């Protein structure tokens, strides 16, 4: 299976960075988005605009990066769209539920289209640099055929399994760990501040000793500096992913007690108007609980 052109759906911050990486690697990319502004931005970088989703699915491969299950189902799981498609494979790179992945794979197979789940680890700036970690699952021959696309967008492709939903479960699990880390950082910074220790000093100590790495360093500095905009990953999407983790846990009889705590904190943040800020803004909830000033 040779991929000569790519149809790309979903031009948020992540999608734009991924399209840019594909263009730099020399791929022909035809783009579609619900709002026209991002399309014009990517056309200026060398992409081609699609008149509609049918044109996207006339390319040899489709890549999508949409926000959630509802968007994927509404836009891309239309039987009429898939029946007329010429694409040989669809890479869904969003974080969606395992149930949607199973449904999408079955629907695509019924129309002779391969379906891969390939969610990613990394924020928008990582996508723009072509340094994502890509979690791929699906038929091995489809993963092999899409290797040039993965190489353009990511620093490493992790083969998770032969069933697409396995990649989504792995990504949901990873985001669950990040959410718990952010909550623990927020609480620890409140504890330090209440006791007269500068949160920035605590974060420097933690990341220079027992917790080096991008999660604690990046989110730790955002929490210590109370810097939650612009959003690299919206808090509302973080709530969605924690709820996905809780759903997977329920389906497999795996208790996630920390998930309930983190879910409630994220939900409280959304209720206080923080949903469009970075999900590090869950720290505002910890500050309110601790009686610390805004």
Q: Which helix (H) or strand (E) holds 30?
A: strand 29-32
Q: Where does a domain end: 103, 133, 162?
A: 162
Q: What is the pTM of this model?
A: 0.95
Q: Where does a domain end: 162, 180, 200?
A: 162
The verdict on 72 and 217 lying in the same domain is: no
The verdict on 23 and 149 lying in the same domain is: yes
Count other C-beta atoms under 10 Å from residue 96's C-beta. Answer: 29
The verdict on 17 and 147 lying in the same domain is: yes
Are 153 and 177 contacting, i.e. CB atoms less than 8 angstroms apart? no
Q: Provide the pLDDT for residue 274.
A: 97
Catalytic residue list contains 171: yes
The verdict on 127 and 23 lying in the same domain is: yes
- DSSP strands (E only) in 102-223: 114-117, 120-121, 132-137, 154-161
26-85: pLDDT as tens digits: 999 999 999 999 999 999 999 999 999 999 999 999 999 999 999 999 999 999 999 999
The mean pLDDT of 93-104, rounded to a whole number, is: 98
Mean pLDDT of the residues in the chain: 97
Count other C-beta atoms under 10 Å from residue 213's C-beta. Answer: 9
The verdict on 229 and 149 lying in the same domain is: no
- DSSP strands (E only) in the chain: 6-9, 29-32, 48-49, 61-64, 89-92, 114-117, 120-121, 132-137, 154-161
With a cut of 90, say whether residue 164 has pLDDT above it. yes
Q: Give CB contacts under 8 A, 24+ apart, made by 133-136.
A: 133/158, 134/93, 134/158, 135/160, 135/167, 135/170, 135/171, 135/174, 136/160, 136/167
Q: How much of the chain, in percent, has pLDDT values that exceed 90?
A: 99
The verdict on 24 and 91 lying in the same domain is: yes
Q: Work out the end-to-end distance of the chain between its first and last CA atoms, rounded to an integer number of angstroms.
A: 56
CATH number at residue 193: 1.10.1040.10
- Please tell me what DSSP assigns to residue 148: H
The verdict on 157 and 216 lying in the same domain is: no
129-144: pLDDT as tens digits: 999 999 999 999 999 9
Provide the token pair at 287: 């500050």
Whether residue 229 lies inside any domain: the answer is yes
The verdict on 92 and 121 lying in the same domain is: yes
- Counted domains in the chain: 2
202-226: pLDDT as tens digits: 999 999 999 999 999 999 999 999 9
With a cut of 80, say whether residue 188 has pLDDT above it. yes
Q: Provide the pLDDT for residue 221.
A: 97
Q: Tell me the residue range of the domain where 134 lies.
A: 6-162
In the set 27, 108, 171, 234, the catalytic residue is 171
Whether residue 1 lies inside any domain: the answer is no
Q: Provide the pLDDT for residue 2.
A: 82
DSSP SS3 for 9: strand
Distance between CA atoms of 7 and 63, rounded to whole angstroms? 6
The verdict on 16 and 143 lying in the same domain is: yes
The verdict on 13 and 158 lying in the same domain is: yes
Please report which confidence band the pLDDT of residue 227 belongs to, taking 50, 70 and 90 as the band edges. very high
Give residue for tokens 């992790």.
Answer: 158
Q: Where does a domain end: 124, 139, 162?
A: 162
The verdict on 19 and 132 lying in the same domain is: yes
CA-based max dimension of the chain: 65
How many residues can be counted in the chain?
294
- Please tell me what DSSP assigns to residue 60: S
Provide the token pair at 20: 């840019």
Distance between CA atoms of 3 and 24, rounded to whole angstroms? 16
151 to 17, 118, 198, 261: CA distances (angstroms):
14, 13, 42, 38
The verdict on 263 and 184 lying in the same domain is: yes
């Amino acid at each position: 299976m040779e991929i000569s052109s790519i149809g790309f759906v979903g031009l948020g911050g992540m999608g734009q960075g991924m399209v840019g990486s594909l263009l730099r690697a020399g791929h022909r990319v035809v783009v579609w988005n619900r709002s026209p502004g991002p399309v014009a931005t990517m056309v200026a970088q060398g992409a081609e605009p699609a008149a509609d989703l049918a044109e996207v699915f006339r390319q040899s491969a489709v890549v999508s990066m949409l926000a959630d299950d509802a968007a994927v189902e509404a836009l891309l799981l239309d039987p009429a769209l898939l029946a007329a498609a010429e694409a040989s494979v669809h890479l869904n790179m969003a974080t969606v539920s395992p149930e949607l992945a199973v449904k999408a794979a079955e629907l695509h197979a019924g129309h002779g289209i391969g379906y891969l789940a390939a969610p990613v680890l990394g924020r928008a700036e990582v996508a723009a640099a072509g340094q994502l970690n890509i979690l791929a699952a699906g038929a091995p021959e489809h993963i092999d055929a899409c290797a040039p696309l993965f190489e353009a967008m990511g620093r490493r492709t992790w083969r998770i399994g032969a069933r697409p939903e396995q990649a989504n479960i792995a990504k949901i699990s990873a985001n669950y760990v990040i959410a718990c880390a952010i909550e623990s950082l927020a609480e620890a910074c409140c504890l330090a501040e209440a006791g007269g220790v500068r949160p920035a000093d605590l974060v420097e100590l933690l990341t220079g000793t027992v917790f080096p790495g991008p999660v604690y360093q990046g989110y730790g500095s955002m929490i210590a500096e109370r810097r939650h905009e612009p959003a690299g990953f919206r808090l509302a999407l973080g709530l969605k992913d924690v709820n996905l983790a809780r759903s997977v846990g329920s389906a497999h009889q795996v208790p996630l007690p920390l998930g309930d705590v983190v879910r409630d904190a994220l939900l409280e943040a959304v209720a206080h108007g923080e949903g469009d800020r970075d999900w590090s803004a869950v720290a505002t909830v910890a500050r309110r609980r601790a009686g610390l000033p805004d």
